[in-house]
Structure 1
Amino acid sequence: MLTISVGVLLAVIVLLRLRRRTEARSRNDEKLTVIIVLALGIVIAPNPLGQGIGDFLGQFASGVTDSSR
């Protein structure tokens, strides 16, 4: 039996959509991409991987703000 993670599926969809040329996108197409990316964020947020990414980005952001002072 083949199983696939919803997060992996959404990540593949996002990558395929972002590979398209910017000029070829309509407003509705861009809105759909944003909705898919938000859904991906919601799916991976409660996972340990999502929490690790969030911690890394938080440390990175604090490092950037500290270096600008």
Structure 2
Amino acid sequence: MLSINVAVLLAVIVVVRLRRRTEARSRFDDKLGVVIVLALGVLIAPTPLGQGILDALGELVGGFSRAGI
């Protein structure tokens, strides 16, 4: 039996969509892209990878706020 991780499948879809040409996209196409990326974020967030990304972004933002940027 073949098992496909939904997060990996969505990541592949995002990469394929980003490699396409950016000309002549419709509003529906843009909205669909946003929904796919949000779904990917929701699936990755509770994983150790998602927690690592959150910690790294927190450190980055904290560094900017301490620097007064």
Partners of 2:58 and 2:35 in 1: how far apart? 23
Q: Quote the residue 2:48 is aligned against.
A: 48
Identity %: 65
Q: Quote the residue 2:63 is aligned against.
A: 63
User: How far apart are residue 62 of structure 1 and its match?
Assistant: 1.3
Q: How many residues align?
A: 69
Q: TM-score, normalised by structure 1?
A: 0.87
Q: Quote the residue 1:2 is aligned against.
A: 2
SS of the aligned residue for 1:24 comes to coil
Give per-residue Cα distances to partners, 1:28-60, cap 9 Å, x unaligned: 100000000000000011111111111111111
Q: Give structure 2 stretches of 5+ with no counterpart.
A: none
Q: TM-score, normalised by structure 2?
A: 0.87
SS of the aligned residue for 1:16 comes to helix
Q: Quote the residue 1:36 is aligned against.
A: 36
Structure 1 segments of 4+ aligned residues over 3 angstroms from their partners: none
User: How far apart are residue 24 of structure 1 and its match?
Assistant: 2.8
Amino acid at match of 2:65: T
Q: Quote the residue 1:24 is aligned against.
A: 24
Q: Give structure 1 stretches of 5+ with no counterpart.
A: none
